[in-house]
Amino acid sequence: MDYPRRISHLIAGVLLLSCAAMPANAISLAVVGAADDFRASTRLANSSIATEESWVSGILGYAANIDYRDNTTASDGWELVNGSEDHWAHRLATDPAFYVLKLGVGKSSADTHYLYENFANLSWAVIDLSEMLAGQNLDFNFGRISHISELDGSTTDLSEPGSFALLMIGFGLLGAAVAKRSHPI
């Protein structure tokens, strides 16, 4: 008998069966990092960029800008994270600090927009469905995803341009007053 050959066939069979038992779209936690921080959710009347930026800015306390919006994410690209039933990952385009996941919820009373802070691996959105949908009356499926808005997380100066000009005029007048006082006519 050819035992080495039988053993190699047995090992190949076991590997084939173990691969077949895993979901085809599973990805390693080592690749995507831990689940991102779920920050807030709400039901918005529309999904314009300005509306989403305003909502996120209110949560973060400073103006946030949407850098990129992925409208092709309905069910494409989502992968189950190995070893979990509730953690799902999706590759992002811009390595954002934050992202908003927008769901179509139909006539349910569930929230439509979910804000996450992206921290473990900025290239991946990693959501925990059990955390996201806690308290929501919604049967989730990835076909409900409308889009992901990626936000840079940087602050934006909210002062008016005229404020800077007035400040410079004030410094100019103060400098003129000091110069006049130093050199009386």
What pLDDT is recorded for position 76?
75
What pLDDT is recorded for position 97?
95
What pLDDT is recorded for position 164?
54
Read off the pTM. Answer: 0.68
Decide if 43 is inside a domain.
Answer: yes
In this predicted structure, the answer to whether residue 182 has a pLDDT above a threshold of 90 is no
- H/E element, 182: helix 161-182
Distance CA 36, CA 94 (A): 16
* Distance (Å) of CA 92 to CA 67, 108, 145: 12, 28, 14
Decide if 7 is inside a domain.
Answer: no
What is the average pLDDT score of the chain?
A: 78
- What is the extent of the structural domain holding 127? 19-151
Mean per-residue pLDDT, 101-129: 90
Decide if 109 is inside a domain.
Answer: yes
88: closest CA among 25, 38, 137? 25
87: closest CA among 129, 59, 138? 129
Distance CA 72, CA 128 (A): 20
Decide if 162 is inside a domain.
Answer: no
Decide if 44 is inside a domain.
Answer: yes
What pLDDT is recorded for position 78?
87
In this predicted structure, the answer to whether residue 156 has a pLDDT above a threshold of 60 is no
pLDDT tens-place string over residues 47-62 = 899 999 999 999 999 9
- Answer whether 87's CB lies under 8 Å from 127's CB: yes
Strands 124-128 and 87-91: antiparallel
Number of domains in the chain: 1
Q: Which residue has the higher pLDDT, 62 or 4?
A: 62
Question: What is the distance between the terminal CA atoms of the chain, rounded to a whole angstrom?
Answer: 116
Decide if 34 is inside a domain.
Answer: yes
What pLDDT is recorded for position 63?
92
* Distance (Å) of CA 118 to CA 3, 55, 67, 125: 52, 17, 14, 7
Residue showing tokens 């077949």: 20
What pLDDT is recorded for position 158?
44
What pLDDT is recorded for position 37?
94
What pLDDT is recorded for position 109?
85
In this predicted structure, the answer to whether residue 179 has a pLDDT above a threshold of 80 is no
Window from 8-12, 23-27, 83-87 with minimum mean pLDDT? 8-12
Distance CA 132, CA 10 (A): 43
